[in-house]
Structure 1
Amino acid sequence: MTPVPSTSSTPSDSASTPDAPDTRTARRPVLAAYAVLTAVGALFFLGSFAYPWTNPEDGTIGAAALPRVAGLLLLLIGLALIRQESRTGSVLEGDGHITEDAEHTPEETRALRRKLVLVTAVMVVTALLIPVLGMLPALALMTLYVTASVEKLRWPVALATAGGVLGVSYLLFTVVLRVPLPLGLFDPAVWSTP
């Protein structure tokens, strides 16, 4: 018994045939997003060298371990994504390519792009604030700003969300995992007298 060929075709079927031209190209917004991801990873990686890898007192893992490893991974993943997008491009349905999204008006498209730029800038500012404020306060402030200003949540909800991020991060990293995080100005060593 021979199988009956299917008469229904989908756009992905026609795109995968050898006769169909490959229209995938590298998209500038996607490359820009991956470049920002790579830059944030590089900032975390380079900033980690301001902290010790191990604690000199007891030889346990130091404050540099988490940002150095996470920054390096983020840097490498970002570079791999840039390489992939540059070489093969991407055309994925529903992947956030808003210039081809017929459901959004031009004003909605501009608002989405403004949000993307704003959130990217907030991430960079947060990375720069970590050596000053410490990891947990900087993340809590970023969460508060994004929820209140970008997502337009009510202040009580935004404050509760930022407080939740601060509490869960403290419990996870400091209490459970015992990872020493950068404390910035909240480091008691900064304020102790010699």
Structure 2
Amino acid sequence: MSGSAPNTPGTAPAPDRSRWPMRVTHTVLAGVGTLFFLGSFAYPWITEEDGTIGPAALPRVAGSLLLVVALALLWREERSGTVLEGDGGGEEPDGPTGEEGHEAPDEYRVRRKLLVVAVSLPCTGLLIPFLGMLPALALLTLFLTLAVERLRPWVALTASAGVLVVCYLLFVVLLRVPLPLGVFDPALWGAA
């Protein structure tokens, strides 16, 4: 295999070197983190009226964290490469992968998962005005853990409830971010 050192008896095979799709992904994530970080300077860090955390806090912190994580992943990819089970980037299987132009089963499974996630994100965005932000995120987590990750139902429900609680504590209680409430908006029920 090109790009890997020859194996000697008794040693594990050398890892594949970095793959260009992973480098591109990490670079794009670093760019998004940088844009959020830089864009946050258009807003105040502290609200002058009541001294609470301002609108710059979330994009600045999230952008800087995304930038740091993306750079760490990019560094790791350049240094040693990544090969994860089922990601389609490992060594070729022992047998043939099919006729030319056909994908291996692992690659098909990964592409199917990516398609499901890519479709479920905009669908969740469409649910936010009706259900509110937190229930929509909890439903997204439940769907992804059941349909994509195929976790046990009780594990998926626990993860979904955990996302709901953590997001509530972080955004509503700590940061006091006004989130869309959808049908759970008290003003909607109080007007009737």
TM-score by shorter chain over 0.5: yes
Cα 1:38–1:154, aligned 2, differ >3 Å: closer, same or farther?
same
Q: Deviation per CA, 1:87-139, whole angstroms, max 9, x where unpaired?
A: x45345657653325579721332023324544x369759978x978764553
Number of matched pairs: 172
Distance 1:128 1:140 in 2: 12
Residue 86 (structure 2) pairs with residue 115 (structure 1): no
Residue 66 (structure 2) pairs with residue 70 (structure 1): no
- Report if the CA contact (8 A) 1:66-1:181 is conserved: no
User: Structure 2: 5+ residue runs without aligned partners?
Assistant: 1-8, 98-103
Q: TM-score, normalised by structure 2?
A: 0.56
Q: State the match for 1:10 in structure 2.
A: 11
Cα 1:169–1:154, aligned 2, differ >3 Å: closer, same or farther?
same
AA paired with 2:58? Answer: L
Q: State the match for 2:176 in structure 1.
A: 180
Q: State the match for 1:150 in structure 2.
A: 148
Distance 2:26 2:123 in 1: 18
What does 1:38-187 align with in structure 2 at a 5 Å threshold?
38=30, 40-41=32-33, 44-45=36-37, 52-79=44-71, 81-82=73-74, 85=77, 88=78, 90-92=80-82, 94=84, 98-101=88-91, 106-116=104-114, 118-119=116-117, 121=118, 125=122, 136-137=134-135, 139-152=137-150, 158-159=156-157, 161-172=159-170, 174-175=172-173, 178-184=174-180
Distance 1:75 1:134 in 2: 29
* CA RMSD across the alignment: 4.9
SS at match of 2:177: coil
Cα 1:144–1:11, aligned 2, differ >3 Å: closer, same or farther?
closer
SS at match of 2:168: helix
User: Structure 1: 5+ residue runs without aligned partners?
Assistant: 1-7, 16-21
Q: TM-score, normalised by structure 1?
A: 0.56
Cα 1:76–1:62, aligned 2, differ >3 Å: closer, same or farther?
same
AA paired with 1:10? Answer: T
Measure how far apart 1:48 and its partner are.
Answer: 5.2
Cα 1:69–1:128, aligned 2, differ >3 Å: closer, same or farther?
farther
Q: State the match for 1:19 in structure 2.
A: none
One of 9, 26, 40 as aligned partner of 1:34: 26
SS at match of 1:100: coil
- Report if the CA contact (8 A) 1:123-1:142 is conserved: yes
- Report if the CA contact (8 A) 2:86-2:106 is conserved: no
AA paired with 2:179? Answer: L
Give identity over the alignment, percent. 50
